[in-house]
Structure 1
Amino acid sequence: MGDITVNQLHGIVLRESESDAILEIDANTYQSISELLSRLRRQAFDGMENDLRDSLVNAMSDLSGMLLRMRLEKASKSANVDTNNLVDEERYILDAYEEQQERLALVAAATSKGKTQLLKYVSDRYRSRMITVRLLKDVDTLTGSDYESYGPFEAEDVATIPYVNARALMSQGSATRIRWTD
């Protein structure tokens, strides 16, 4: 696709809003928008030109968010909509939504059918999962929910620890989660 302009993006959003179908867009649309916004943010201007750049960045950001939300809403709200025109970034989000729905159905069914062992398995698996965090403060050695020792940690250390312990550290303001996209 190359460079995209605010007018082109506005046209894409307008066409998408006027259609019940998910329209075909270039597979690199979000990457093109991201590259343009990144270039714009790096440019330094004075006074009014800086304000214009900020307005353009905000408009492009708002339009891209609207496009994403519109297309995902169409895909998730109607079983009759053809999702073949979704681009990879949209499929990434939709896959997580579908997984959430599957988990909801699993837990609801296990609960209503009295499948306590399945619920215990789900709970154990959830508690034992590991996540990566960046420590914001010094933290003494801690015993994880898996009974292993972790630490001691210094501020700015990166560690993979059980989710339950990471959640406690994050709620105290001692750590922040690192996602693979960070």
Structure 2
Amino acid sequence: MQFLAELNYDNIRRIWEKEINSEELQDLDDLTIGKMAEYLSHVRLALTEVPADNNLQVEIYTREIENLEYMLTDLLKIRMRKILEAALAQQSPAGVMTIAEEEFYNRVSRGVSAHASFLESVLTGSVSVDTEVERTTGGVAATDNGGMEYVTVMFTRPIDTPFIGLDEKTYGPFEREDVATIPVANAQVWLRDGTVVRVVAQDVERD
């Protein structure tokens, strides 16, 4: 089978080895990642076209697929650790990142910066309920919707009437113990009066 992807197994191996042998983040863009995924897909397709009695070729393709899956997984995990370390240190990674990696870096950086501001407010004695709700990272995530922040909450009492969030989306109605992600600004009053309680991300089961 002729592979259409420009990258091949040796290219991918070299990219992986370069990443694991360097302390700094290496350049990796979305186009390259796409070609890596494309090549893996081609090898998987090639495996399905091998006659069932050709055990040797089946073994070759199967081993190649396993190696590719390992290298790609390890590559992205190593890059994630490097990006996380840079974000925690409030430094910019040295290498080019994919869009998904940039979003990850920006989210972590915002969280670190927000926590630093929260810590400063605690030390100066100026912390408030609003500051705690808006800045703490547990269950709160920023989106690309104009910088809107959301919080995952569980309702402790029913809300019978739907409402319009600050993001102009309709929410509700909600039953007791319903879990939902709503704009932080809309949740503030309910967080204060006990209508909702915050839920950390790992406790939420997503479909």
| Inter-partner Cα distance in structure 2 for 1:12 and 1:77 | 25
Alignment-mate amino acid for residue 111 of structure 1 = V
* SS at structure 2 position matched to 1:176: coil
| Inter-partner Cα distance in structure 2 for 1:110 and 1:146 | 32
CA deviations on 1:84-110 (whole Å, 9 max, x unpaired) are 633323212211221121122021111
| Inter-partner Cα distance in structure 1 for 2:119 and 2:105 | 21
TM-score by length of 2: 0.51
Tell me, yes or no, if structure 1 residue 110 matches structure 2 residue 143.
Answer: no
CA contact (8 A) 2:88 2:108 kept: no
Which of 130, 137, 142 pairs up with 1:121?
130
Match of 2:15 in 1: 12
1:146 to 1:84, Cα distance in 2 relative to 1, 3 A: farther
| Inter-partner Cα distance in structure 2 for 1:74 and 1:13 | 19
| Inter-partner Cα distance in structure 1 for 2:26 and 2:151 | 39
1:70 to 1:114, Cα distance in 2 relative to 1, 3 A: closer
Alignment-mate amino acid for residue 11 of structure 1 = R
Alpha-carbon RMSD:
4.4
Consecutive unaligned residues of structure 2, counting only runs of 5 or more, are 141-148, 160-172, 183-195
Tell me, yes or no, if structure 1 residue 95 matches structure 2 residue 106.
Answer: yes
Alignment-mate amino acid for residue 107 of structure 1 = F
CA contact (8 A) 1:75 1:81 kept: yes
Cα drift, residue 74 of structure 1: 7.3
Paired-residue identity, %: 10
Q: Tell me which structure has the larger Cα radius of gyration.
A: 2
Consecutive unaligned residues of structure 1, counting only runs of 5 or more, are 133-142, 153-158
Aligned residues: 156
Match of 1:135 in 2: none
